[in-house]
Amino acid sequence: MSYVGPDFEPSEPRRPRRRPLTIALAALVPGALLGWLVYEAVGGGGDSGGSAGAVGTAASASAPASPTTPRSAGDDDKPGGSPKPTPAATPSKSAPGSGSGSGSGPLKGKVVVIDPGHNPGNFRHAAEISRKVNIGTNSKECDTTGTATNSGYEEARFTLDVAHRMRTLLQEQGATVELTQDGDRPYGPCVDERALIGNRAHADAVVSIHADGSAAGNRGFHVILPGPVHAGAADTRAVVAPSRALGERVAGAFVRVTGSAPSNYIGGGTGLVTRTDLGGLNLSTVPKVFIECGNMRDSKDAALLTSGTWRQKAAQGISEGIVGFLRE
């Protein structure tokens, strides 16, 4: 996901532009050096995704999700044009892309919503995705096309592939899993609707999957946490703390399973970033985080993101973080 202002950045289809990021660093987290030391302590080669204690604990305490074989591909987004209503997604458990777990396992009775960032069809619907929606604090574009690697592998394809792998892993743990979209709609859903799907499902945890579109040389993952917002339709005050706990678990497990280091260009080396300008977080009434799994515009990160083997590790790392959070 690229940014140009609050929320998802409107980038050019497949070759998005990048602008400066505005973030608030996660509170009470040490700097890059301490993050690096924590990451080394949990067995990786980079910085850690939270406070030293929090992410170290997250990595060691995450309950492993069952490994599975790689599956599908695809999902991304971007803006452009005149107002038109978005086709409604069905946020219930009978929605396409949803499914119950095995009926047993540590996550039996838990509902997890996976939000594959963007949609492969967004670039064909510039007018629809550029229409403004209310995110509580202000209005933002419905969605964006997302970014892509230099070779044309789209963020939208990446996010949907990781979401499918996560769904399998989490269902094996007994969870009921819903996707906000499964390549089953022409575009979207809009960012406000993505939040609503998790809310209506009464999800125990929601994770939005993305990949960044920053400058070459910028590497690593970061987890985006909701900050306190109380304006208009947005009120995150009740979910800030549990979302941080979820984010720390996900960051710690992602480091351990993938071997990837936290971002070297945002988050001060912690792998955690707090934002109050994203509609998908502002409008959520359940614990929710975003994860930018790497930078598609950097050749080294792109080599990972385009690897099915690595995407399976990414799915497992995120899933283990969710399992650890839900078993607390």
Segment 8-18, tens digit of pLDDT: 333 334 444 44
Question: What's residue 50's pLDDT?
Answer: 30
- Which residues partner with 209 through β-bridges? 116, 291
Q: Would you name the residues annotated as active-site residues?
A: 292
* Among 94, 188, 106, 183, CA closest to 141: 188
Count the Cβ atoms, other than its own, within 10 Å of residue 153.
20
Q: Where are the domains of the chain?
A: 24-326
Of 235, 262, 123, 113, nearest to 180 by C-alpha is 113
> Can you tell me the mean pLDDT for 224-233?
96
Q: Which CATH number fits domain 24-326: 1.25.40.10, 3.40.50.9100, 3.40.630.40, 3.40.50.150?
A: 3.40.630.40
Tens-place pLDDT, residues 84-123? 333 333 333 334 456 777 668 999 999 999 999 999 999 9
Question: What does pLDDT average to over the chain?
Answer: 79
pLDDT digits 0-9 by tens, 274-312: 999 999 999 999 999 999 999 999 999 999 999 999 999
* Residue ranges in the chain assigned as alpha helix (H): 32-41, 52-61, 126-130, 155-172, 191-200, 240-258, 279-282, 299-305, 308-326
The phi and psi torsions of 250 (rounded to 5 degrees) equal: -65, -45
Could you say which DSSP state residue 15 is in? S
pTM: 0.73
Nearest of 172, 299, 281 to residue 227 by alpha carbon = 281
Task: Tell me what pLDDT residue 99 has.
Answer: 74
> Is residue 47's pLDDT more than 70?
no
